[in-house]
Amino acid sequence: MDKTETLVAKANILIEALPYIQKLYGKTVVIKYGGNAMKNEILTRTILQDITMLKYCGVNPIVVHGGGPDISAMLKKLNIETQFVGGLRVTDAATMEVVQMVLCGKINKDIVAHMGALGGKAIGLCGKDAGLIRAHKKCAPDGTDLGFVGEIDSINIQLLTTLSLDEYIPVIAPIGVGENGETYNINADTVAGEIAAAAHAEKLIFLTDVDGIRRDPGDPATLISHLTVDEIYQLIRSGVVDGGMIPKVEGCIRALEEGVARTHILNGTIPHPILLEIFTDQGIGTMVTDDV
């Protein structure tokens, strides 16, 4: 291949993205970046590059991040025991302080700084900023006292719209604020689902540590590329979808209820998962929609 042919081949790759960019131009894409997918700095960089690239293509990404493993590691260092009930961390006052420090003080600021270094105007927020996520104490179905675990009442979507229109990329830590200023710990998947629903986003993407939903959770060859909401309910009932996957599919269902067209569960431990999903025909991972 001579120099011109190489340049034309490069240009063609860019041009292939055009129809996908046209479809998403000016639309909102909510991306949940899970703690289990955040472990490798080089891969994290490719994800933050993808998000920055989306913004420069005229798409409005909103990022919600997790950080469960980092919270657990910090609690362990501090000799604070941690317990999960139904996938939610039982959060007493001491745990809440650590959750807030790790999510808002460390992970949120690290993501914002990395995205800033890549040229993205990332702005770090938690639910306390301008009442972004209002919440009240959540009651577990079995009556367990979950402490400061929150249930979402409302999302200040106007704040996110304003920031997106001003070219910012909101990066949100999943902490809610109560009526009297209480701090609440909320599962990041739940926050992402509610924000996608409130924003009437075009897409909701969960980046996790598996390639999507599998018929046999231990066997990568059983990846399911498309599921409807009815099929998801069957998979939950049969125990195939379990543990940390449950809040993700619930987030998908919540977003679909509010008119979000497509929701996806993707592997965040491979390079450029977002661009691969958005800018290629085949897509990757599992797509959940409300019809066939």
Ligand X SMILES: Nc1ncnc2c1ncn2[C@@H]1O[C@H](COP(=O)(O)OP(=O)(O)O)[C@@H](O)[C@H]1O
Ligand Y SMILES: CC(=O)N[C@@H](CCC(=O)OP(=O)(O)O)C(=O)O
What residue ranges bind ligand Y (CB under 6 A)?
34-36, 66-68, 71, 88-89, 99, 149, 174, 185-188
Counting contacts by CB under 6 A, is residue 240 touching ligand X?
yes
Has 262 been labeled as part of a binding site? no
Counting contacts by CB under 6 A, is residue 193 touching ligand X?
no
Q: Which of 164, 175, 159, 162 is nearest to 121 (CA)?
A: 164
Any bridge partners for residue 65, and if so which? 33
Encoded one letter per residue, x for contact with ligand X by CB under 6 A and - for no contact, window 62-91 reads: ----x-x-----------------------
The residue number whose beta carbon is nearest to ligand Y equals: 66
Give the one entry of ligand Y, ligand X, none that residue 185 binds, where binding means its C-beta sits below a cut-off of 5 to 8 angstroms depending on kind: ligand Y
Closer Cβ to ligand Y, 67 or 212, answer by number:
67
CA distance 228 to 230: 5
Counting contacts by CB under 6 A, is residue 174 touching ligand X?
no
Counting contacts by CB under 6 A, is residue 35 touching ligand X?
yes
Q: Which of 259, 267, 226 is nearest to 28 (CA)?
A: 259
**Residue with tokens 């675990």, as numbered in its chain:** 149
Counting contacts by CB under 6 A, is residue 244 touching ligand X?
yes
Has 218 been labeled as part of a binding site? no
Closest separation in Å from C-beta 186 to ligand Y: 6
Using the contact rule CB under 6 A, the part of the chain among 3-11, 18-26, 235-243, 253-261 near ligand X is 235-243
Give the one entry of ligand X, ligand Y, none that residue 176 binds, where binding means its C-beta sits below a cut-off of 5 to 8 angstroms depending on kind: none
CA distance 66 to 93: 20
Query: Which residues, including other chains, have CB under 8 Å from residue 173's CB and lie 6 or more apart?
Result: 65, 67, 103, 104, 107, 108, 124, 125, 126, 127
Counting contacts by CB under 6 A, is residue 217 touching ligand X?
yes
Give the one entry of ligand Y, ligand X, none that residue 88 binds, where binding means its C-beta sits below a cut-off of 5 to 8 angstroms depending on kind: ligand Y
Count of C-beta atoms within a 10 Å radius of residue 144: 14
Has 40 been labeled as part of a binding site? no
- Residue 21, classed as helix, strand or coil, is helix
Give the one entry of ligand X, ligand Y, none that residue 214 binds, where binding means its C-beta sits below a cut-off of 5 to 8 angstroms depending on kind: ligand X
- No. of H helices and E strands in the chain? 11, 14
Counting contacts by CB under 6 A, is residue 213 touching ligand X?
yes
Any bridge partners for residue 149, and if so which? 185
Give the one entry of ligand X, ligand Y, none that residue 71 binds, where binding means its C-beta sits below a cut-off of 5 to 8 angstroms depending on kind: ligand Y
The H-or-E segment that residue 237 falls in is helix 229-237
The residue number whose beta carbon is nearest to ligand X equals: 244
Any bridge partners for residue 87, and if so which? none
Closer Cβ to ligand X, 202 or 211, answer by number:
211
Has 108 been labeled as part of a binding site? no
Q: Are 156 and 132 in contact (CB under 8 A)?
A: yes
Closest separation in Å from C-beta 54 to ligand X: 20
Q: How many residues does the chain have?
A: 292
> Is residue 56 packed enough to be buried (19+ CB in 10 Å), middle (13-18) or exposed (0-12)?
exposed
Q: Are 26 and 57 in contact (CB under 8 A)?
A: no
Q: Write out the residues near ligand X by the rule CB under 6 A.
A: 34-37, 66, 68, 189, 208-210, 213-214, 217, 240-245
Question: Annotated binding site for substrate, which residues?
Answer: 67-68, 89, 185
